[in-house]
Amino acid sequence: MTTQPKASHFIDGQYVEDTSGTPIEVIYPATGQVIATVYEATPAIVEQALTSAARAQAEWAARDGTSRGRVLRRAAQIIMERNRELSVLETYDTGKPLQETLVADATSGADALEYFGGLAADVTGQAMQFGGDWAYTIRRPLGVCVGIGAWNYPTQIACWKAAPALATGNAMIFKPSETTPLCALKVAEILIEAGLPAGLFNVVQGRGAVGAALTGDARVAKVSLTGSVPTGRKVYAAAAAQMKQVTMELGGKSPFIVFADADLDDAVSGAINANFYSSGQVCSNGTRVFVHADVQEAFLAKLKARVESATIGDPMDEATNFGPMTTQAQLDITRHHLETAQAEGARVITGGEVLDKPGFWITPAVLAGVTDDMTVARQEVFGPVMSVLTFTDEADVITRANDTEFGLSAGLFTQDLTRAHRVVAQLRAGTCWINQYNLTPVGMPFGGSRQSGIGRENARMAMDHFTEAQTVYVGMSPVEAAF
């Protein structure tokens, strides 16, 4: 497979190159080798993307929803037909094992395109009666929207943002993370092949400055960011200066609670999914694992055996279920967190070894004896590090679970139905799971509260975030005036 794209950017229905931009080398995380080079968008490229999106959007918005939806559904079908090729590319871009990318990336993007394609004909307002007069609302598209992505799910993030934006009549300019620039270009190619008019989904490459240039342009109506909290603050502030709408999908430090009556095998499986999928580089991960004291020993024993059975190796081998980290920088952050945690008193139960081979490899780590004030329990690691904490009292664990600036996700395992709903209602998190973790079907809203973000992706709610209400009052009687 050729990993070098035809050109760096995709604008107005075609690949566009401008080698005067700063080169960005794309590195395959499993080997550390350079597999492609793209060039950061120059101001001229950004301008081209904005002009073409603004021009294309009006005609697209004027189309009826069924016709828009048909294009998205066709794109979903093409993605499914090419799933293997796209999954291999996702693995090159991120290092995630093919075993994962075959089922979680292009397929998740296709789900979003199919789902929002189906809903495109169902963008509805409300009608209100005021005596003989009445009013109604129309959901109008916002215009040109900007999507900015993180590097952990490049195909999924591009589709989760593009699908609701396009379904509701907007255009989107997408800036992938500089680390993983390849996959969104394929999404753009496929949308064109499916019949999307040129200019409605443009991809421009670059670092933060390109994202900032897009966010600050007056022609842009909305910015949807997936990224860290510090970046979220900057982008939100820049958008606020021009009163733009935003969706912010940011980081987390989510609690995962195992009550004494939990099915321990399920809880261990849930904790593994909540910490080690995608080598731990998942925003919603449940990294503070609170385990009831009565079952902690048994939980840790099962967990250690399961974690040590991970198949770590060539991500392209479908038997591999744990791959490298995506960048050397993220590996260094992870290693630093492990050292700090041990210095602060945590015990390594297993893992955390950096493998002596090319690429960015570290084994999945479980820390026990973690307390609430340790750095590893307060900051997002974004790597394969699970922190196990102990609790005995329900009210106490709820307080501790909520004691964080973040609020992206939370999970709990118990067989007690009443307790499950009682506890979940007190957890301050945008997305919660009971006896499951990290499943995000497209029909379910996903997003965070507090520092973890604003707005929701997926489900019908995402349609509201890419439209605004226009209210129309209709007078049916003679107009009265004071004089």
Site residues, ligand NDP (CB under 6 A): 148-152, 175, 177-178, 207-208, 211-212, 215, 225-228, 231, 234-235, 249-252, 283, 380, 382, 408, 448, 453
Question: Residue 368 or residue 432: which is nearer to ligand NDP going by CB?
Answer: 432
The least distance separating ligand NDP from the CB of residue 408, rounded to whole angstroms, comes to 6
List, as own/partner pairs, every contact residues 445-450 make where C-beta atoms lie below 8 angstroms and the sequence separation is at least 24, other chains included.
446/249, 446/284, 447/247, 447/249, 447/408, 448/248, 448/249, 448/250, 448/252, 448/406, 448/407, 448/408, 448/409, 449/407, 449/408, 450/405, 450/406, 450/407
- By C-alpha distance, which of 42, 41, 43, 46 is closest to 8? 41
Question: Residue 143 or residue 211: which is nearer to ligand NDP going by CB?
Answer: 211
Question: Residue 72 or residue 203: which is nearer to ligand NDP going by CB?
Answer: 203
Extract the tokens encoding 32.
């550390």
The least distance separating ligand NDP from the CB of residue 244, rounded to whole angstroms, comes to 12
How many CA atoms does the CB half-sphere of 403 hold within 13 Å?
Answer: 14
Q: Which of 90, 114, 189, 249 is catalytic?
A: 249
- Please, which residues bridge with residue 139 across strands? 469
Question: Residue 165 or residue 397: which is nearer to ligand NDP going by CB?
Answer: 165
The least distance separating ligand NDP from the CB of residue 368, rounded to whole angstroms, comes to 24
Q: Which residue has the tokens 């400055």?
A: 209
Residue 380 a catalytic site member: no
The least distance separating ligand NDP from the CB of residue 227, rounded to whole angstroms, comes to 3
Q: Which residue is nearest to ligand NDP (CB)?
A: 211
Question: Residue 99 or residue 224: which is nearer to ligand NDP going by CB?
Answer: 224
**Cα Dmax for the chain:** 87
Host H or E run for residue 387: strand 385-391
| Burial tier of 174 (Cβ tally within 10 Å: 0-12, 13-18, 19+) | buried
The least distance separating ligand NDP from the CB of residue 74, rounded to whole angstroms, comes to 27
Other beta carbons less than 10 A from residue 311's beta carbon: 12
What are the catalytic residues?
249
